[in-house]
């Protein structure tokens, strides 16, 4: 299956498209949409929507996975982050994708095997699993991690479903 992972942010929104079937994983595309602070907010949200819509048309993912942000900062920054997330999810739904959400804990457990892993460990494992040419873009790396998490979750649920059969 082909999955689009999204790491939403108001300054950079990362994306990563991954083909995966169990342990075989391949990066189809990854990068991030830069959102200059000089742009008014509606224009930034429009750019997120347009770029993700274009990516969906070009790479044809079947499902979308987005990190379910845990908010510890103030309400104003949560509102701004929420808007970026809303525009990204709207692009996914508009592109006909089913959208799934994962907590940071679930992503770390799926990628590193340890829920309290730090950011460097996640990036290291993403690089090990996917080996993309360039992972200096941390937003892209985060987006790839969400996609990998979703592929793992899907593979496990499929295995369980097969196991459930009489």
- Binding-site ranges for a copy of itself (CB under 8 A): 41-43, 45-46, 48-50, 53, 66, 69, 71-94, 98-101
Work out how close the CB of 85 gets to a copy of itself at its nearest, in angstroms, rounded to a whole number: 5
Question: Do the annotations mark residue 7 as ligand-binding?
Answer: yes
Count Cβ atoms below 10 Å from residue 106 Cβ, excluding itself.
18
Question: Do the annotations mark residue 67 as ligand-binding?
Answer: yes
Q: Give the Cα separation of 31 and 33 in Å (integer).
A: 7
Work out how close the CB of 28 gets to a copy of itself at its nearest, in angstroms, rounded to a whole number: 22
Q: Which of 139, 142, 150, 152 is catalytic?
A: 139
| 115 φ, ψ (degrees, to nearest 5) | -65, -20
In the complex with a copy of itself, the residue whose CB is nearer, 26 or 81, is: 81
Question: Do the annotations mark residue 21 as ligand-binding?
Answer: no
Q: Which residues contact 146 (CB under 8 A, 6 or more apart)?
A: 5, 6, 7, 16, 65, 66, 67, 102, 107
Output DSSP code: residue 10.
S
For the question of residue 51 being annotated catalytic, the response is: no
Give catalytic residues, as residue numbers. 7, 67, 139
């Amino acid at each position: 299956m082909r999955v689009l992972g999204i790491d939403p942010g108001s300054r950079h929104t990362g994306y990563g498209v991954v083909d995966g079937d169990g342990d075989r994983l391949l990066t189809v595309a990854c990068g991030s949409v830069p959102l200059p602070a000089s742009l008014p907010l509606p224009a930034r949200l429009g750019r997120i929507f347009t770029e993700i819509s274009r990516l969906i048309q070009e790479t044809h993912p079947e499902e979308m996975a987005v990190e379910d942000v845990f908010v510890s900062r103030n309400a104003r920054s949560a509102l701004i982050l929420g808007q970026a997330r809303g525009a990204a999810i709207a692009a996914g739904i508009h592109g006909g994708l089913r959208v799934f959400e994962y907590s940071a804990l679930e992503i770390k457990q799926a990628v590193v095997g340890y829920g309290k892993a730090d950011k460097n460990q996640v990036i290291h494992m993403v690089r090990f699993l996917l080996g993309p040419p360039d992972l200096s873009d941390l937003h892209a790396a985060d987006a790839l991690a969400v996609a990998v998490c979703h592929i793992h979750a899907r593979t496990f649920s499929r295995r369980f479903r097969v196991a459930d059969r009489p």
